[in-house]
Structure 1
């Protein structure tokens, strides 16, 4: 069986497969984008968007991918001329060969080539998915000068090991050559990611060269962005599936759900890929989209997880087959979540909510409720509690949101009673509380509300919340033994 590469594109096209037309023939696009961190999400998301933009409008927007250390992606994709297959999972699976990636560099081994690529006048954008850790920030969101990688890079004497230092070195080269800075774009789910990236780059430059820092202050563009799409890990089953469907061998295909979202702050230079035509939303209110995602996606997701686990339901798709649970979540969205915030003008809330519930029903995505339930002490203060606080302030109902919190409390007790692992950074404190619970709603709820790391000082003492949470806890309590939700008591 032939391996996927440029030589087989014509035969794939003749077989009716979707292929990158811009990679056929001699006039392939120049590389205009460098991306740091070529993981599965990037290849199913930003790389796919750029591929789609070039399919629609052409342009010199080929991507040079950079792996800071690991050779895995380079070893898989370079023999394939950067080509790979995206399998879109839904009721039916579709396949598309993506060609936006033209090379994969390993920074540790090809540092001079990387700097040459970053410093090239053709490189207009540098994007990155390096996780929050990769930005080397402190708890205040500033560059952590005590970070070991940053300290090593500032000391000099060897090639840079942090992404921040790598980029600043290239920006210094561009300044010296009279080339404008590239547009640097974080694609990690990090609040105010563009602002934090820009600050980190400038703060690093200040430690090296005040004139460079001043030039960046005046010229560097770092848009904020938000990304969303479920991208499960590639496995041998997917490789086999692709080989059967396309009759080619693909070292590293990608699978993702059909829903895909990329929201970008509308401050990019005029010279950019046709991302808008590919479906990217440009807005002046990225924070509004982040807030909508937290409230309309993450809050129902977590709520469904805790209630579903109590009812011994295994996956999100399984949960969506339980009409009482679906009705509960829909009512929560309509009555308590939507009234709690003002959506960005570009967002159709009804359509977005419908898309979310459709995603939850996707039979091809096996998303375990137990995994969604992990790290609740970190997620609830972001996903649910701010909505409760806002609704109390506005005089709106909080009954169903409080039921979701009560389900989390009982989930903790269930894990303790059944002697199962609790994946949560506060697991010891939570199990200590669960050990003291005796089934009396008032005393049990008081124990959980004493955890200020989760509930803070004000909400834990709010009488409206305490009353609603206690009532919800009492109504849900039978689920610990019956392993079913008493829906008739939840309203």
Structure 2
């Protein structure tokens, strides 16, 4: 049975599905969201659905939008389903399927004029984003890349704009001229200081042609930082089949995710907001410590297990956690080197959070692939591993475990696992990484000379020595023996 509003209202959907208690005709838009993929529907859209279930804030429903024509098929599937989605939340022992209806409208992807017109309308009070890191046009140093051709086109008066930030700037300009209130821009992407990054992108783009508008944006528009967290794998045929066979519904784009969910947001909204706190969102004055915990312990933890697992031929994250050597490696690096760098959080809180992370990694229902965790290391390592290394070195502490993590990533980027099986390209800069990893087999420091990733670490004798040692051992002894030697040596020390 196709997932549609008519099926929902007639009660023909499976009884095991949890369905909206609210009448969707009572909803009205308040948020335009760019990027209506799996994570958004498992996270932001789910929080709103829970609010609506309590008959609260019904004027904050979602208008979906996107700037890439490649999203067309995905949008058409949602359109054909009356914007409904099946979200299957899974623990290790149970599953719960919910039909969410918090989205009430879609603007066709890459229909820039229509998106701009929708952004200008008074009912849109929040513009939220899940556009991945690439949608922020960041340089290697983390600054907004104003020289990107797409950004240059928008900056020089291209109409209508064709980037998310070009559309936001154009809409804010129009709202200012029409004396309409501005909207809040709320990033829901997993990047450090996501609100600050969004502010910088918006104001930098506006300043190219309209400095007064840029100043008005700085003075009037809110860009709250947030920390978002929910493991949400890619949907495939297996997930579609499970939804059809178990819940008797045809959903072309179902979402499968873990049962854990977290959202911590700075409470800075210039045009009001839903009562997210009533459904579990945490509002704080400064999100930094929560962001640091998540990026270093969870995302850094993913990197710790991913590369030894990939080199050993392991396919899924839960299988890596079932491998004692990899789990011991994760715990030792986390406890000895990562947790001590996180300030303003008690040790007991950090250990408790790490325990939750380990449980989440070990959840077999998620099917989170090692290949996904290995993807885009050239951007993930500088965010999730390098800051911890730099903090450790600045404090005069050792980085043996983190140096081994970096060496494992280098070994992975050689492009073949320990059986000789080819590792397919898994990074936007894959060719460059393979070349550097090949050179590093003979001279490990070649890997650290990638300045866009490692900065000046190639000149840090302590880190270079550790990295050199571990990479040579990986080539001479293999992954298992190298990790064993790390665990044994560090225990003796």
Aligned length: 478
Q: 1:45 aligns with which of 38, 43, 46?
A: 43
Taking the aligned partners of 1:430 and 1:472, their CA distance within structure 2 comes to 14
Cα deviation, residue 182, structure 1: 0.8
Q: Deviations over 1:290-337 (max 9, x none)?
A: 322232112222222233344443322112112243233223222222
Give the stretch that moved more between structures: 232-241 or 145-154: 145-154
Q: Normalization by structure 1: what TM-score? A: 0.85
RMSD: 3.3
Taking the aligned partners of 1:279 and 1:251, their CA distance within structure 2 comes to 29
1:94 lines up with 2:96 in the alignment:
yes
Cα deviation, residue 204, structure 1: 3.4
Match of 1:66 in 2: 65
Match of 1:441 in 2: none
Cα deviation, residue 5, structure 1: 1.6
Match of 1:217 in 2: 218
- Spell out the pairing of 1:201-240 with structure 2 (5 A cutoff): 201-240=202-241
Taking the aligned partners of 2:153 and 2:457, their CA distance within structure 1 comes to 43
Change (3 A) 1:320 1:178: same
Change (3 A) 1:336 1:191: closer
Match of 1:200 in 2: 201
Q: Helix, strand or coil for the counterpart of 1:191?
A: coil
Taking the aligned partners of 1:486 and 1:164, their CA distance within structure 2 comes to 48
Change (3 A) 1:466 1:128: closer
Taking the aligned partners of 2:97 and 2:79, their CA distance within structure 1 comes to 20
Contact 1:229 / 1:256 at 8 angstroms: preserved in 2? yes
Contact 2:313 / 2:417 at 8 angstroms: preserved in 1? no
Match of 1:190 in 2: 191
Change (3 A) 1:427 1:18: same
Q: Helix, strand or coil for the counterpart of 2:107?
A: strand
Taking the aligned partners of 2:10 and 2:20, their CA distance within structure 1 comes to 10
Q: Normalization by structure 2: what TM-score? A: 0.84
Match of 1:461 in 2: 460
Taking the aligned partners of 1:154 and 1:299, their CA distance within structure 2 comes to 36
Give the stretch that moved more between structures: 355-364 or 137-146: 137-146
Q: Deviations over 1:93-114 (max 9, x none)?
A: 21000111001111544734x3
Contact 1:311 / 1:479 at 8 angstroms: preserved in 2? no
Q: Helix, strand or coil for the counterpart of 2:264?
A: strand
Match of 2:488 in 1: 489
Taking the aligned partners of 1:293 and 1:326, their CA distance within structure 2 comes to 18
Match of 2:243 in 1: 242
Contact 1:311 / 1:483 at 8 angstroms: preserved in 2? no
Change (3 A) 1:428 1:258: same
Give the stretch that moved more between structures: 468-477 or 365-374: 468-477
Match of 1:428 in 2: 435
Change (3 A) 1:8 1:218: same
Change (3 A) 1:262 1:470: same
Taking the aligned partners of 1:141 and 1:400, their CA distance within structure 2 comes to 26
Q: Deviations over 1:176-204 (max 9, x none)?
A: 33221011112222333222322333333
Taking the aligned partners of 1:213 and 1:407, their CA distance within structure 2 comes to 44
Q: Deviations over 1:328-368 (max 9, x none)?
A: 322322222211221468x9423321221011101022333
Q: Deviations over 1:389-420 (max 9, x none)?
A: 43344354534334434444554568388373
- Spell out the pairing of 1:75-474 with structure 2 (5 A cutoff): 75-91=76-92, 92-106=94-108, 108-109=110-111, 111-112=113-114, 114-137=115-138, 144-156=145-157, 158-269=159-270, 271-343=272-344, 348-376=349-377, 378-411=379-412, 415=416, 418=420, 420-421=422-423, 423=426, 424=430, 425-434=432-441, 436=442, 445=444, 448=447, 454-458=453-457, 460-463=459-462, 465-466=463-464, 468-469=466-467, 472=470
Give the stretch that moved more between structures: 407-416 or 364-373: 407-416
Q: Helix, strand or coil for the counterpart of 2:276?
A: coil
Give the stretch that moved more between structures: 405-414 or 216-225: 405-414
Change (3 A) 1:17 1:168: same
Q: Helix, strand or coil for the counterpart of 1:43?
A: helix
Contact 2:227 / 2:263 at 8 angstroms: preserved in 1? yes
- Unaligned 5+ runs, structure 2: none
Contact 2:233 / 2:368 at 8 angstroms: preserved in 1? no
Q: Deviations over 1:234-273 (max 9, x none)?
A: 2233223222333332232111222223222221248311
Higher Cα Rg, which structure: 1
Taking the aligned partners of 2:445 and 2:152, their CA distance within structure 1 comes to 46
Cα deviation, residue 144, structure 1: 4.4
Q: Helix, strand or coil for the counterpart of 2:11?
A: helix
Taking the aligned partners of 1:148 and 1:451, their CA distance within structure 2 comes to 25
Taking the aligned partners of 2:440 and 2:448, their CA distance within structure 1 comes to 10
Give the stretch that moved more between structures: 195-204 or 82-91: 195-204
- Unaligned 5+ runs, structure 1: 437-443
Which 4+ runs in 1 deviate beyond 6 A?
481-484
Contact 1:308 / 1:314 at 8 angstroms: preserved in 2? yes
